[in-house]
């Protein structure tokens, strides 16, 4: 691997303060994201999966500084050559310094009804991004908007329409076109297909794949739907209560899940096959509150194999899965005391 990764994230942390009373006394904090480490290669899709409240959306938005992260480093390398310029730490930049970099880092949202300004035609919504960044001027803006709409499979004449005239899938396409307008290198897909119907979801997934091939995009694909993740991503990070519990190549995660939580998550997906008889790991109870996460391994309160005196005492360091490499894009690690193998 002579190519450097696009993004290296170390210890990404976001704690939301909880304030009380008239004067906003700090009464505690929600540890939404608590020290994430991952790398994202060029033209790669890394999925972050987890249940609601696990911090995956916060992680994605913190990475783009749409929410200010509490701590951590995000080393971004615009150039692919390893001898190139020093990486830029996105978290050290001021908002003004960050603005030009926004061209490289874009986001697509979940709710197709909220992601577009209802007062602005879709053509203007896309054109605005081009104009603000000085990518195009005058009549050129129009040409580019039409080309972008074509790229996402919309007819050119829709540019004069308002968002309310589109269906959910079409709005999602407009959102994608807007993100594409700035020719980004990375797109954070924040539950981008979760709100869509099955047949529309398939259209959008295909579109995202096509665009990735055509423009060499990297995706940070945040989702809760494991079947979509299995199909689209190269690597998967499973999050539970603000931390990554398992990280590895998609095939490894789905075929050889190491962490009990990943195993439970996978077995809970309903399969569209009525004849399939599976042994299912049904988890009891609910996700604990991120305000006061359990001591030790966050998952031990629901874990079917938790060991007293071990799991409820210390948080496990990531361990390399049996038979997997320790580092690099092919590694497979799980943060569980009971996984065999060395600490990563």
Partner 1 sequence: MAGDTQQPGAAPRGAVTSAVETEREPLLRLDGLRTHFDTDDGVARAVDGVDYAIYPGETLGVVGESGSGKSVTALSIMRLLPVPPARFAGGRILFRGEDLLAKSDADLRKIRGNDIAMIFQEPMTALNPVFTVGNQLMETVRLHRGYDQARARAHAIDMLTKVGIPAPEKRVDEYPHQLSGGMRQRVMIAIAMSCDPALLIADEPTTALDVTIQAQILDLIRELQEQAGMSVLLITHDLGVVAETAHHVAVMYAGKVVEYASVFDLYERPRHPYTIGLFRSLPELAAPGQRLATIPGVVPSATRFPTGCRFRTRCSIATARCAEAEPPLVALNDDQVGRGHTVACHHLEEASKL
Partner 2 sequence: MTQSHSANPGTASHTLAPTSEAAPAERFYSKDYWDLVFEQLGRRKLFKVALAILTALYGVAAFAPLLVNDKPYMVESVDTTAYTSAVRTLRVTISSSNRLAKQTDEAYAASVADKPAAEPTRGGAFAVELGAARLRLATLRSALPPDKYAPLDEIEALLDQGEAKLTADGPAAVEALTTATALARQLGKDYAAWDPAQPDTAGVDLVGQREHPLWESLKSWEIFFMTLWLLTAAWPLWNRVVNGLVLRRDRERIRRARRWKLLGVLALSLVATFVWRAQLGSGRSGLDVAPHKEGLAKGTIHLVAEGRTLREAQTDPTAVGRIEWAPVRYGYAESTVVEKFRPPTWRAEGEIDPATGRLVHPKWALDAETIGDRAVGQPMVIRPGEPEANAWNRHIAGTDELGRDFFGRMIWGSRVSLSVGIVSALILTVIGVIIGSIAGFFGGWIDTLIMRMIEILQSIPSFFLILLAMAFTNPEVLPPIFAIVLVIGCIGWTGVARLVRGEFLRLREQEFVVAARALGFSNARTIFRHVLPNALSPVLVAAAFAVASGILIESAISFLGFGVQQPEASWGSLVNETRNTSYWWIQVFPGVLIFVTVTCYNLVGDAVRDALDPKMKV
Closest CB 334 distance from partner 1, rounded Å: 18
Give the H or E element holding residue 261. helix 260-268
With CB under 5 to 8 Å by kind, the binding choice for 81 among partner 1, partner 2, none is none
CB-count burial class (<10 Å; 0-12, 13-18, 19+) for 133: middle
Residue 101's φ and ψ, nearest 5 degrees, are -75, -20
Closest CB 303 distance from partner 2, rounded Å: 34
**Pairing mode, if any, of strands 243-249 and 7-20?**
unpaired
Which residue, 117 or 307, has its beta carbon nearer to partner 2? 117
Residue 264 in contact with partner 1, rule: CB under 8 A:
yes
Residue 177 in contact with partner 1, rule: CB under 8 A:
no
Which residue, 141 or 192, has its beta carbon nearer to partner 1? 192
Judged by CB under 8 A, which of 22, 275, 309, 342 binds partner 1?
A: 275
Of the candidate spans 76-84, 104-112, 180-188, 295-303, the one that interacts with partner 1 by CB under 8 A turns out to be 295-303
With CB under 5 to 8 Å by kind, the binding choice for 25 among partner 1, partner 2, none is none
With CB under 5 to 8 Å by kind, the binding choice for 141 among partner 1, partner 2, none is none
Q: Which residues contact 275 (CB under 8 A, 6 or more apart)?
A: none
* Residue-wise burial string across 211-235, b where 16 or more C-beta atoms lie within 10 A, e elsewhere: bbeeeebbbbbbbbebebbbebbbb
Judged by CB under 8 A, which of 8, 230, 315, 326 binds partner 1?
A: 230
Which residue, 209 or 224, has its beta carbon nearer to partner 2? 209
Two structure tokens written together for 256: 């050889």
Pair 46, 219: CB distance under 8 Å: yes
Judged by CB under 8 A, which of 117, 206, 292, 327 binds partner 1?
A: 206
Of the candidate spans 16-24, 28-36, 122-130, 165-173, the one that interacts with partner 1 by CB under 8 A turns out to be 165-173
Which residue, 12 or 146, has its beta carbon nearer to partner 2? 146
Which residue, 43 or 230, has its beta carbon nearer to partner 1? 230
Considering only residues 23-62, where is the footprint of partner 1 by CB under 8 A? 51-52
Q: How far apart are CA 259 and CA 314, in angstroms?
A: 16
Q: Which residues contact 341 (CB under 8 A, 6 or more apart)?
A: 319, 320, 321, 322, 324
Which residue, 103 or 256, has its beta carbon nearer to partner 2? 103
Binding interface with partner 2 (CB under 8 A): 22-24, 61, 64, 66, 98-100, 102-103, 105-107, 109-111, 113-121, 128-129, 132-133, 143-144, 146-158, 160-162, 164-166, 169-170, 175, 178, 180-183, 185, 203, 206-207, 210, 214-216
Residue 158 in contact with partner 1, rule: CB under 8 A:
no
Residue 51, phi-psi category: left (phi > 0), alpha (psi -120 to 50), beta (remainder)? beta
- In the DSSP assignment, the letter for residue 205 is H
Q: How far apart are CA 103 and CA 108, in angstroms?
A: 14
3-state secondary structure of 111: coil
Two structure tokens written together for 167: 């269906």
Closest CB 22 distance from partner 1, rounded Å: 23
- Give Cα separations from 245 to 44, 225, 240, 303, 317 (angstroms): 20, 17, 6, 13, 9
* Residues at the interface with partner 1 (CB under 8 A): 51-52, 167-170, 197-203, 205-206, 209, 224, 226-228, 230-232, 250-251, 264-265, 267-287, 301-306
């Amino acid at each position: 691997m002579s190519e450097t990764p696009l993004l290296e994230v170390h210890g990404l942390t976001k704690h939301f303060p909880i304030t009380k009373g008239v004067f906003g006394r700090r009464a505690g904090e929600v540890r939404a994201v608590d020290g994430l480490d991952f790398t994202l290669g060029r033209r790669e899709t890394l999925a972050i999966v987890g249940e609601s409240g696990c911090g995956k959306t916060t992680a994605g938005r913190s990475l783009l500084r749409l929410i200010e992260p509490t701590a951590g480093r995000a080393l971004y390398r615009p150039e692919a050559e390893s001898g190139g310029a020093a990486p830029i730490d996105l978290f050290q930049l001021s908002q003004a310094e960050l603005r030009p970099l926004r061209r490289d880092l874009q986001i697509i949202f979940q709710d197709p009804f909220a992601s577009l300004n209802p007062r602005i035609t879709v053509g203007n919504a896309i054109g605005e991004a081009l104009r603000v960044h000085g990518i195009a001027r005058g009549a050129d803006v129009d040409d580019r908007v039409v080309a972008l709409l074509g790229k996402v499979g919309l007819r050119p004449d829709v540019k004069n329409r308002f968002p309310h005239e589109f269906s959910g899938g079409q709005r999602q396409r407009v959102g994608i076109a807007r993100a594409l307008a700035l020719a980004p290198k990375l797109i954070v897909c924040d539950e981008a297909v979760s709100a869509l119907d099955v047949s529309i979801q398939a259209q959008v997934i295909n579109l995202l794949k096509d665009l990735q091939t055509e423009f060499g995009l990297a995706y940070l694909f945040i989702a809760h739907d494991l079947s979509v993740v299995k199909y689209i991503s190269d690597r998967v990070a499973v999050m539970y209560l603000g931390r990554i519990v398992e990280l590895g190549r998609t095939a490894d995660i789905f075929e050889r899940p190491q962490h009990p939580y990943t195993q439970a998550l996978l077995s809970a997906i309903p399969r569209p096959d009525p004849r399939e008889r599976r042994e299912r790991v049904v988890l009891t109870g609910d996700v604990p509150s991120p305000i006061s996460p359990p001591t030790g391994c966050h998952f031990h309160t629901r874990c079917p194999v938790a060991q007293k005196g071990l799991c409820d005492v210390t948080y496990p360091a990531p361990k390399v899965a049996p038979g997997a490499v320790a580092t690099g894009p092919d590694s497979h690690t799980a943060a569980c005391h009971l996984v065999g193998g060395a600490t990563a």
